[in-house]
Structure 1
């Protein structure tokens, strides 16, 4: 028997409805005390299934997605979480996700370094460790690359990626969009032709986007440091897709993975970086990333006015790499394992060559390929110009299109690892 509530009203019978049908109890209904000292039984719960939807009670009264609570950005979570909290008398300040919402079950588990999280944001190629590359990113990428697309696990089901591009992009945007889609996420965003940097302050725009339930922000900015500015005010992971002449860390990841796949190693390589080394962010990031490996030699092939930045050179020197500046690619073509050609900015190179006493050689032609060892590889971040003519594409040493294809799987692995570490940090 149920006793009256504290206000003295008799307890209504809730076992049947007016039509005589059995009534299912509601978690938000008033709680009545039993005459015995035994507390009322708690509802029986089942943990969320693989799709991330939780089911309450034997009849499955509610079945709602609660990934917003997993992300931990909406306080008490969805309507079901508020009802469960009320029924079980959970304190408002106690995160409900700690006892109810497990982290999404991902096949790719994140790894943290001794200094903290590796993937809070993806901003700088120097944030990645050699151990993380060799034990996490490269094996995960290889596994994804060897898995048919129709058998891929939807590790990002329910996730949302928003891209914000202030500069045009083909490979970076499309590969990220395809990577997220293949793993079950949804993608939307704003392209460069739809906005201008002067329209709105970057930090304000990022704060507005954080008010919407996004899980990743992919940003390409036209000025160096834009991604760091966005990350300083963002509560969700920011991925740097290129910030002016600064860095392009995900390009460096796919470049390093390509070398690892093509040559089988990253230690002891001789690498020629060719072209505009002052304003090309891809060479900056690749130099920072490869500096963690041993016995490297870098040949910097560029005009004097477009030589590599001093801070990047100093970083390579401190890491123990050998550096040599040359003006003619043919002079070192027979001694290198990798030629990394950058996109030629015609007006900039022409201006730089006016101040050179001798004409340099910054293109890959038949003479360079004749001197290049058979095991060597030629990489290019694309799009290309006259520095890498298309008539040599049949040469197996030209790996720029395999390099671009690897970008899809590297970014799939990166998003999965980023989601796994974000989920672990929320628990």
Structure 2
């Protein structure tokens, strides 16, 4: 999608956060340091207090967010929209691009160049890996040409690439429930090959001391080798298992994702492995009593609904944290920290 020269220019767009989100495109979790996360968690805590005490604030009054979603979404779309409204801003949603000029053949670059002239911020979800970087570069070029300040873009998921805001809310939840992120063993379960949520989460966890990751997936859906090598270079301890029940008592955090049926060549191949990635009451009984169970949602049978009532199940609380985290993200890129 991008030439080598264009990718090189992205280093000036996807720049390190360094304690200040103002005006920056948020494309990858690799922009965040451990100290950035500490500050970010404080801001998310503050946003949670605002919501609980007052319901909303007006710090982003007069600001307009465009949610540009080329893929269907429930939690990411709605939490960004509601977060912006709770901050006093306004939202224009473009969800279902069949109703936009994309259906006429308009390119992503042209779309975001136009929208950057209307809004103060764009949140983009796209089915192609690298689309967020392409869009951020197009905005940067156009704003520079016009002699205008850049409009920040937030990557809300780009194909099998990354999902930064999801990883931020995931680490925020783990930090809350486990009292920190050092010295934890985290099990990542399901489609690790295509799962952008686990890719981003693994990268953020690598910032912490003595973290161990357990990968549980069908062999055909293993964690990408290049990411494994990257984690290894950062000193992350890793192990692999085929069945969650074999290692259920080893993790402090279990992060469950959907084993994507559409990735298998046949129904028989899917059925042969699907049961190994289903969390039941018996599975939980084998886990540490203090372990937590997370899921980015939606789930499609990989966690038995009976598990929902257990204290270990925190996935709905995790989803609620998404709004506070995205409130912090929106206020940060718009210079209100």
Shift of 1:140: 1.1
Change (3 A) 1:230 1:334: same
Alignment of 1:52-131 (within 5 A): 113=18, 120-131=24-35
2:277 alignment partner, SS class: coil
Match of 1:251 among 166, 170, 193: 166
Residue 344 (structure 1) shift: 2.8
The answer to whether the 8 A contact 2:190-2:257 is kept is: yes
Gaps of 5+ in 1: 1-110
- Structure 1 residues 151 and 394 mapped into 2: Cα distance closer, same or farther (>3 Å)? closer
Q: CA RMSD for the aligned pairs?
A: 2.4
Q: Structure 1, residues 387-418: CA drift from partner, whole Å, max 9, x if none?
A: 11212110010110000000000000111111
Q: For residues 258 and 398 of structure 1, what CA distance do their matches in structure 2 show? A: 12
| Contact 2:261–2:270 (CA under 8 A) maintained in structure 1 | no
Q: Secondary structure at the match of 1:241?
A: strand
- Shift, 1:353, TM fit: 7.4
Provide Cα deviations, 1:83-116, integer angstroms capped at 9, x if missing partner: xxxxxxxxxxxxxxxxxxxxxxxxxxxx9529x9
Give yes or no for the alignment of 1:211 onto 2:117. Answer: yes
Which of the pair has the greater relative contact order for Cα pairs under 8 Å at 6+ separation?
A: 2
Equivalence for 1:321: 236
Residue 57 (structure 2) pairs with residue 141 (structure 1): no
* Distance in 2 (alpha carbons) for counterparts of 1:300 and 1:353: 23
Q: Which runs of 4+ in 1 moved over 3 A?
A: 116-119, 195-198, 349-360
Residue in structure 1 matched with residue 145 of structure 2 by the alignment: none
Q: Is contact 2:281–2:306 with CA below 8 Å preserved after alignment? A: no
In structure 2, the CA distance between the partners of 1:378 and 1:112, relative to structure 1 (3 Å rule), is: closer
Instruction: Measure how far apart 1:420 and its partner are.
Output: 1.1
Query: Are residues 198 and 272 of structure 1, via their aligned partners in 2, closer, same or farther at CA, if it must alter by over 3 Å?
Result: farther
Q: Which of these two proteins has the greater Rg computed from alpha carbons?
A: 1
Q: Give the number of the structure whose residues are more often helix, by fraction.
A: 2
CA contact (8 A) 2:34 2:207 kept: yes
Instruction: Name the counterpart of 1:99.
Output: none
For 1:170, the equivalent position in structure 2 comes to 74
Contact 1:220/1:241, CA 8 A, preserved across alignment: yes
- Give matches, 1:16-55, under 5 Å: none
Q: Which residue of 2 aligns with 1:199?
A: 105
Cα distance 1:112–1:248, how it changes in 2: closer, same or farther (>3 A)?
Answer: closer
Q: How many residues align?
A: 309
What TM-score do you get using the length of structure 2 for normalisation? 0.86
Partner of residue 337 from structure 1, selected from 252, 264, 271: 252
Out of 282, 291, 315, the residue aligned to residue 376 of structure 1 is: 291
